[in-house]
Amino acid sequence: MAKALMVQGTGSHVGKSVIVAALCRILKRRGVKVAPFKAQNMALNSFITPEGGEIGRAQAYQADAAGIPPSVLMNPVLLKANSDTGAQVIVRGKVVGNMGVRQYHAYKDEAFRAVEDCYRELSESFDVIVMEGAGSPAEINLKASDIVNMKAAKMAGAKVLIAADIDKGGVFASILGTMEILDPDERDMVAGFLINKFRGDASLLKDGLDFVLARTGKPVLGVIPHFTGIHLQEEDGVALDGHVDSGDGAIDIAVLRLGHISNFTDFDPFAAEPGVRLRYVRGVSDFGRPDLLIIPGTKNTVADLLELRGSGLERKTLEYLDRGGTVIGICGGYQMLGRGISDPHGVETDKGRVDGMGVLDVETTLYPDKVTTQVRAAFIADASLGELTGYEIHMGRTALGGGARPVFSVRSGPDGPHDDGAMNAEGSSWGTYLHGVFENDRLRRSILDSLRASRGLDAQVASTDYGVIKEEGLERLADLVEANIDMRTILSLV
């Protein structure tokens, strides 16, 4: 069995996912066979593994850091919230159903059996497993039924590092409060603490670090500085709350900030392009005059469509198209652009059928089973772009009418060769079920050069290699973390 090290946190969004990714890359560079693991993840950004299973995007990013293919074993349980009190439950990469809070609470014993099985299978192939917790292990109302923090650490025999975000304030109180609430045997599992997102001179923290050691008997093993300019892939929509528009480029790309937005990492490649500004639109007042508008994926297409309708953003989108704008819809956004969405099985709503925006001549029907597959495809309008890669995650099937033409020719996948997506007659709007398609450099450059041409701008001379940008980001992240933590002690734990 592999040795295990676990990163837990004093709360959500303190940097656990990023620290796990950094540790995976640091260990990989030392020749260690390492893999990430998160027993249960609640996130709307997901990824499809080579075996066709759905996991949290963070675990796919961490697998990249470890230099290995992502696997459903790395994230046995994925929860995708589709309401304030319910979520779609995915176990070993496949949907088992929608559950409310109480229903899932009753299901947790079965979910944890999947966690144990996946961890055992994963640990047989690696030297070290770097595990990630969720939220905080000290949530009093959740501790008894928690399967992702201390229970998972005990299962793996893992030593625990607790990360805290000093940028939120109250970092020492959050560390001490967490330790106070943990049971005595859980405190014994804690090897130390990591303080994340520090701005300034770390020597000024000495009194606080000494106090933590004296009070808990556990050291602070690192103070990681706040950083910008390193390319990361965020796990969940909370990251968008503090999103800063990328750049001030001549090309302005706007993404509608849907209430149940999912897989917004689809648009990271645009943010990495020089001369491109990527921003998220929350209301009519900040719609602006974009060169390209994107309607992203969503975990609840019908609810988000009705919200756009009520807020005036649907009307604004249609007016933008009438003025010559360009709109692309991805997955749920593609469905919204059609004539209508039918839900005869009650997958998302009891409304039966809801009118779409009517931009594309397509009709979508929602079904209980989910398509999850990696694909290879070609862009029908320009075969010279070569083979493209992407992945599908959707519960809808979309039929094209006579006024629409397909966008991609899918050449591989469990359904065999087929067409995907739809484009309107004018070519000003198209939609697709393919996620990750903008990571294909030639397609992305073709889109951007077309936008530049419409503005009378020259084509971009340098071609951005998004794969290189991701790899450089992981290397820089690992360098930063390794330089600011007690790596000798952490290595001794595994």
326: CB partners within 8 A, 6+ apart: 291, 292, 293, 428, 429, 451, 454
Q: Rounded CA gap, 453 and 249, in Å?
A: 15
Q: Rounded CA gap, 397 and 238, in Å?
A: 29
Q: 118, 260, 394, 435: which one is catalytic?
A: 435
Q: How far is CA 9 from CA 16, 178, 193, 286, 485, in A?
A: 7, 9, 9, 35, 16
Read off the DSSP letter of residue 260. Answer: T
Tell the burial category of 349 from Cβ atoms under 10 Å away from its Cβ (0-12, 13-18, 19+).
middle
Nearest to 297 by CA among 329, 250, 270: 329
Is 431:422 a contact under the CB 8 Å cutoff? yes
Dihedral sign, Cα of residue 316, residue 433, residue 96, residue 63: negative
Q: Rounded CA gap, 211 and 219, in Å?
A: 10
E strand intervals along 233-315: 251-256, 261-262, 276-281, 292-295, 297-298
User: Strands across the sheet with 77-81, in order?
Assistant: 40-42, 77-81, 86-91, 94-100
Q: 118, 260, 331, 394: which one is catalytic?
A: 331
Kind plus residue range of the DSSP H or E element containing 23:
helix 16-29
Read off the DSSP letter of residue 140. Answer: T
Kind plus residue range of the DSSP H or E element containing 333:
helix 332-336
In the residue annotation, 435 being an active-site residue is answered as yes
Is 18:232 a contact under the CB 8 Å cutoff? yes
Task: Say which amino acid occupies 249.
Answer: G
In the residue annotation, 118 being an active-site residue is answered as no
Is 193:175 a contact under the CB 8 Å cutoff? yes
The residues annotated as belonging to the active site are 331, 435
